[in-house]
Amino acid sequence: MSNKPSFKFAVIGTGMVGTAIGSLLKKAGYEITAMTDPSSAHLKRAQSYITGAACCRYPSQAAGLADCLLITTPDDSIASVCAEIVDGSSVKGKKIFHLSGAGGLDLLAPATKAGAMVASIHPLQSFSSIDSAISNIPGSYFGVTAVAGLKKFSSAIVRDLRGIPIYVTPEQKPLYHAAACMASNYLVSLMSVVESIYLSIGFSEKDARKAYLPLVYGSLKNLETQGCPNALTGPIARGDSGTVQKHIKAISCHLPQYASLYANMGMIAVKLARQKGTLSLSQAKIMTKLFKGAQK
């Protein structure tokens, strides 16, 4: 992108994602002139990743030192931080981005009214640390939502981060982000249930994880190469209702708090097995009856 050097960026919020994005933009050749965060510890930590950027006390001060603002605060703070910036400095002609997955451009409404161009770029990735974010962002998809005049520039930024832009309308964002949370957060939640079941029969946490993770990795590989229906294996895909009945009985007896989860996921697996073509209609009806009984 030939016009990179002419744009000055400010990072408003130096948590994990903001610090990682700022660091990657700097490595890509952009000038990061300012950053701000209510936490002095976060700002100090960010200095080692985004060298040369001025540390500002207020968002409006950082905004005054840049043409492009990245609001990388927690989602619930985006609107108020945007309003604070608009109240404290001129944003006319500036480009303002937020990184919320579920939030639309309405979060930046004060900036739009003040003459700024607004967009959202959301990395479809999971971060547990700044270093992992810097490592994982390249190659990741980004949900891009932007006003017409900022679409091309937003996509160029994503590509300079070595990401892949995919356009998402403001109306689609809550569903887009819900799916992302299910793929990441709910997978972790589901694995915590798996661990709980193994712990209940005497496995150590370490052994439980070593036991189920190869199974998870194998399933993910099958998903990648074959898609959801064909990646489905196990008793539901085989039509083995006797095994499913044993599962339901054991979970209902020993860990009843997970019975409805097992049943609800089982109902989805029945549909996948029908799509795969390995489960007959009569077998599906038997399975569905079992799962409906377990949902009560």
Q: Sorting pLDDT into bands at 50, 70 and 90, what band is 161?
A: very high
Provide the pLDDT for residue 2.
43
Asked if the model's pLDDT at residue 146 lies above 90, the reply is yes
CATH class of 4-171: alpha beta
Write down the pLDDT at residue 1. Answer: 44
Averaged pLDDT, 35-62: 95
Return all residues near 131 (Cβ < 8 A) that are at least 6 apart: none
Residue 4 has pLDDT above 60, yes or no: no
Q: Give domain limits for the chain.
A: 4-171, 176-295
**249-267 average pLDDT score:** 96
- Per-residue pLDDT at 31: 95
Chain mean pLDDT for the chain: 95
Residue 86 pLDDT level (bands cut at 50, 70, 90): very high
| Angle, helices 173-200/205-226, rounded to nearest 10 degrees | 140
**Alpha-carbon distance 42 to 15, whole Å?**
6
pLDDT at position 296 is 74
Residue 147 pLDDT: 96
Tell me the mean pLDDT in the region 103-129: 95
More reliable by pLDDT, 106 or 128? 106
Tell me what the mean pLDDT of segment 35-57 comes to: 95
**Do 273 and 232 contact (CB within 8 A), yes or no?**
yes
Q: What single-letter amino acid sits at 205? A: E
pLDDT above 90 covers a percentage of the chain that reads: 95
pLDDT beyond 60 at 139 = yes
Q: Is the torsion defined by CA of 266, 267, 268, 270 positive or negative? A: positive
Q: Can you say whether residue 217 is alpha, beta or left, with left for phi > 0 and alpha for psi between -120 and 50 degrees?
A: alpha
What integer is the mean pLDDT of 227-238?
Answer: 96
- What is the mean predicted confidence (pLDDT) over 31-50? 95
Whether 14 has a pLDDT exceeding 70, the answer reads yes
Judged against a pLDDT cut of 70, whether residue 5 lies above it is answered with no
Confidence bin at 127 (pLDDT 50/70/90): confident
- Taking residues 183-212, what's their average pLDDT? 97
In angstroms, the CA 180 to CA 174 distance is 10
User: What is the sign of the dihedral through the CA atoms of 51, 27, 105 and 91?
Assistant: positive
